[in-house]
Amino acid sequence: MRWMTILFYNVILNAVSGTLIFGVWSICKRIWEKKGQYDVLYNCLKVVLAAFLLPIGWLYLFF
């Protein structure tokens, strides 16, 4: 049952961290679009997608 708990917290932490980073990216997106900085916009989008996919919850549980 322990592995199920770890998996559950991992999924929740990934969703929370990914949602927060996506919110920051959405705010910055409007600023960058006005300035015409599309290269920064799409490079930061890669970081946002990684926040949803990388298991950040493991770092929280083990450190």
Containing H/E element for 34? helix 2-35
0.85 exceeded by the pTM?
A: no
pLDDT band at 62 (very low <50, low <70, confident <90, very high): low
pLDDT in tens, 3-61: 777 777 777 877 887 788 888 888 888 888 888 888 877 888 887 777 777 766 566 55
pLDDT value at position 44? 80
pLDDT value at position 10? 75
One-letter amino acid for residue 24 of the chain: V
Burial of 57 (0-12, 13-18, 19+ CB in 10 A): buried
CA atoms within 13 A on the CB side of 30: 5
